Structure 1
Amino acid sequence: MIEQILADKVLEVQSMKVCPYKRTKPVLKPNFNDKINIIAEIKSKSPSYGNFILQKNIVEIYSKYAKAISVLTDNKYFGGSFEFLHEISKKTNLPILCKDFIIDKKQIDWAYNSGADIILLIVRALEKDKLRKLYDYACFLGLSVLIELHTENDLDKIDFDATIVGVNTRDLDTLKIDKNLAKKLISKIDAKIKIAESGVRNRNDIEEFLPYTNVFLIGEALLKSNDVESTFKELLCM
């Protein structure tokens, strides 16, 4: 599946115009100093689940309990857009993670000017040299970068000191979750901030990962919840 997504992304990037927005607020740096830190995700749909119904006050709730908000900007597979990210950035004081399949500087420019503070770079989606160039460019703009891994082979592509590294428990081809593989990989990462992405649905999952990391990117569990605040309180043990 990842190969088809990337092929579509190449066509999308080729047709991208200049971003109509101009950044007006300073770039925010994420703060993950609590016992448990959640990056709460917003998306309209996903290949693994289908369509989500977004609550009207979801940004307000996220701003109350999360440490950052992840916004999908891929439209075809996740129903997102940079316009959507821009609107959310105006409604919160939390750092915003632009989550997309970034393969070109143009996407980083759009993310920056739309109000993102962090971008995602998926190691599997990029050649080693391209990964480094995009990382350096984002840092030049003052953005933080979340480097996403899934297998040990991904580690070979990182020849720079990445501050934020995440492990996606979901295989982007099969969409299957492997928490044991993720825990093993997180334990091998030498980064200031380590993030467990996907597959964290309840308090038991949090407890399972706490020996390895205390930062979690969570979407589905929150987006499917009929009581988002209660779900946050369960995850945060409040």
Structure 2
Amino acid sequence: MRLLLVEDENHVAAAVSAILTRHGFTVVHASSGWAAMEALMAPDSDPFDVILLDLGLPDQDGYEVCGRIRRWTGTPVIMVTARADIRSRVHGLDRGADDYVVKPFNTRELIARIHAVSRRAAAAEGGDVRGNDLLLGPVRVDLTSRQVRVDGSVVHLTRKEFDLLALLGQRPGVVFRREQIISEVWESRWEGAERTLQVHVASLRAKLRTPELIGVVRGVGYRLVLPER
């Protein structure tokens, strides 16, 4: 497994790289946000399986780097940082991180989390993207025209229903927290929005005639579940 380690403290990066290398990982180190983006966008570089991202970078905030990474690639991101407060955790997940590990961390736990996000990413690859279309079992989502078809027939969705489906559909298998969905689709805060989200999910399930396509993770949020092939 090939990892990109974004860490500005060289002694920390060296120690983490040595540990991960002993466990069979190939580690590429970037000491700044821009260096990380250059490594990701290098045309002759092999793709990374997971990105380990520190937040306290010298050139730009780690949250901003995570946002740029998300716009460029769907590679899983684990934030590895000393910021332990809940607000930092939530903000990191809202910016697109797949997991959040607080320093100092247990090596076995970090490796387990790397494997976990990698498995989720591999499961998500069961989806299919062709051009600007998402193929989600019987459902085809055209991200350009904002048209949705189920078994070839056009299904009319409201703007928010489409945005919700597109959000989940671009990362099948990944669990989106309810707060994150409200923030990204409604651009609003979570307070009082639970009923709104439930109504839209129920409406989507009915219109797509595939209720199992949108799975609920009790107490957490929702994910798109691709039908078994």
Q: What TM-score, normalized by structure 1, do the two folds share? A: 0.33
- Which structure's residues are more often helix, by fraction? 2
TM-score by length of 2: 0.34
In our comparison, the structure showing a higher alpha carbon Rg is 2
Query: Larger relative contact order (C-alpha < 8 A, sep ≥ 6)?
Result: 1
